[in-house]
Structure 1
Amino acid sequence: MAFRVREFELALMHRMQDLNAGKVEEALHGMSASRAELRAAHAHWTRLAHAPRAPKGAAALRMALGAPPYRGSRPAGSLTCDVLRWPLPSWPGLAFEALLGPGGEVWNQWFVRPEGPMTVAFTDLTPWACVVGDLGASFPGAVQIEGPAPHHWTVDFPHDGRTYRARFVYGLIQRLE
């Protein structure tokens, strides 16, 4: 099996399934993909990550997604990091972003809005509708907390006198608690 955009999306969805199996099932149906294909894509990506001769980091992303349509830079403290972004068909209006450290290693990878965070209403906090940056731009006092698994983020934020917790996978909202 070649590992391209479709397989990459399925590998991302495998992790998202941890928090939102229903949304992943909907997406699989829309892609005409099976759960077996989802599992196979995840297993393939995992094998590539551990294979000694397989591309790593940004090279692995380029292998799956092609050349990034966007390349830029971003300051991170006293360092300047490279930023690579790819649009993915299953998440229109968003881009999958890789932040590369000075040695080219991937420091972070998640979904962002290419034009920057968007202000969203509380009612807009539905699965796959916003990214971590949107919550920070929309709810002053939002605090990011380490997630319970790789590529998971948690953001606590106040709204109408209560504190809510949003759970994200690859920076994309999965559920609100």
Structure 2
Amino acid sequence: MRRMRDVNAQKVEEALGRAGASRAELREAHAHWTRLSHAPRAPKGAAALRMALGPPPFRGLRPAGSLTCDVLRWPLPSWPGLEYEALVGPGGELWNQWFVRPSGPVTLGFAGLVPWACVVADVAASFPGAVQIDGPAPHHWTIDFPHGGRTHRARFVYGLFQRLDRAPSGPD
């Protein structure tokens, strides 16, 4: 939630309220995770996710170029219909982690772009001409797409839609 707060602070505040948590507790949870991430003996990569989330209810394989990666997924109660997915390389390294719709992308109308309700694949599949570009920070994604005579920029954190902006005109 810490990274999501940078892009959509109101949704994070609402989620904290539903969870009965304070901003201080969010900061402490983030600090704890950061300390664990940098501790020499703490689990890394997928092992750290297993430690935090438990054993993944879904485990599968996915080709990635000439390699095959493990796919691990966890449902999370705050995001019904979505799952948190980790792609793990042959050496056990964590290649990617983000929210996905396990049943595959859904087609959305423009009004269906609701924060925390759709993922990268939904937006990419719903708007012809959509272009994925690098996000401004780790675990951020951006999709620019045309609609209604304008180019819009959908911003994601961990693959979960956060906010819609008007795309800048011209090169970034």
TM range (shorter): over 0.9
- CA-CA distance at 1:79 after TM superposition: 1.1
- CA-CA distance at 1:160 after TM superposition: 2.3
Q: 2:73 is paired with a residue of what secondary structure?
A: strand
* Aligned twin of 1:26: 14
Identity across the alignment (%): 80
Q: 2:2 is paired with a residue of what secondary structure?
A: helix
The whole-number CA distance in structure 2 between the counterparts of 1:18 and 1:50 is 22
1:101 aligns with 2:97: no
The whole-number CA distance in structure 2 between the counterparts of 1:163 and 1:15 is 25
- CA-CA distance at 1:109 after TM superposition: 0.2
Give the letter aligned to residue 54 of structure 1.
A
TM-score (norm 2): 0.94
* Aligned twin of 1:170: 158
CA displacement 1:16-57 (0-9 Å, x = unmatched): 000000010000000000001100010011111100000000
- CA-CA distance at 1:65 after TM superposition: 0.5
The whole-number CA distance in structure 1 between the counterparts of 2:89 and 2:128 is 29
| Equivalent residue for 1:60, pick from 48, 71, 92 | 48
| Equivalent residue for 1:51, pick from 39, 42, 57 | 39
Runs of 4+ residues over 3 Å off in structure 1: none
TM-score (norm 1): 0.91
Q: Which runs of 5+ in 1 are unaligned?
A: 1-12
Q: Which runs of 5+ in 2 are unaligned?
A: 166-172
